[in-house]
Amino acid sequence: MFAVIKTGGKQYKVAEGDKIVIEKLAADAGENVTFDDVLMLGDDKKVTIGEPLVAGASVVGTVDEQRKGAKVLIMKKRQRNTYRRKKGHRQLETVVTIDSILADGKKAPAKKKAAPKAEEAPKKEAAPKAEAKKPAAKKAEAEKPAAKKAAAPKKAAAPAEADDLTKMKGLGKVFAGKLEAEGITTFAQIAKMKKADIDALEEKIGAAGKFESNDWVAQAKELAKG
């Protein structure tokens, strides 16, 4: 037996066991879907054409997967103009396997899912018996000297006083604020910076080429000497 169904604005001729690719349906993989828009039913002896649908007929299938179709490229061009547009599109699709074709309006028997096996509770391990402390052990514990008090942590060195970075030529308050936000507050810090550090910092604060064009490292070395 075959049937012609309508879904997603398109018509498909299907038979039991067929696998079809249709417009996306709101169903997860493994769920059953029913197509009630049956336009035609037929077999070796008789063909029934709907007006517009075959009354009481339906087709039942199982969702195999949800996927995206092949990419389609869309090109737009206007003559005598520089207008060009290129876009790609991948249609959402559902792959369905046809399980049964019902001509009498009866519902297909629902597939029973196997009940998950109950997990066995882990056996409780027997608690080890507490060994009785020998009197000699108690005496030895009492004789142990008291643990030394933990040494107090050393005080962290006070941070160096911040320099006025705007004394450097080409470095205004805006970039000085950005450098301070990155923890750079003294001429000595800038004087010790290497090229890799400078490149990473310039990219982060949006100052590409500023260090080299203004020679900030050399200026910082002179100002750091006092």
> Token digits for 145?
């000297």
Which phi and psi (to 5°) does residue 202 adopt?
-60, -40
Closest by CA to 73, choosing from 90, 91, 87, is 87
Nearest-angstrom CA–CA distance, 182 and 33: 59
183 pLDDT above the threshold of 60: yes
Which is more confidently placed, 20 or 114? 20
Look over the chain and give the mean of its residue pLDDT values, rounded to a whole number: 80
**Is residue 213 scored above 60 in pLDDT?**
yes
Helix (H, G, I), strand (E, B) or coil at 94: strand
pLDDT in tens, 82-127: 999 999 999 999 999 999 999 876 665 555 454 556 566 566 665 5
Q: How far is CA 142 from CA 82, 128, 147, in A?
A: 94, 26, 12
pTM: 0.45
Strand partners, 61: 33, 98
CA-to-CA dists, residue 80 to 75, 76, 77, 83, 87, angstroms = 16, 13, 9, 9, 21
**Strand 19-23 with 32-35, pairing:** unpaired
Taking only the tens place, the pLDDT of each residue in 126-143 is 555 555 455 555 555 555
Spatial distance between the Cα atoms of 180 and 186, rounded to a whole number of angstroms: 9
How far apart, in whole angstroms, are the C-alpha atoms of residue 81 and residue 120? 74
User: How far is 139 from 88, CA to CA, in rounded Å?
Assistant: 83
What does the pLDDT read at residue 102?
93
Question: Pairing mode, if any, of strands 84-102 and 58-77?
Answer: antiparallel
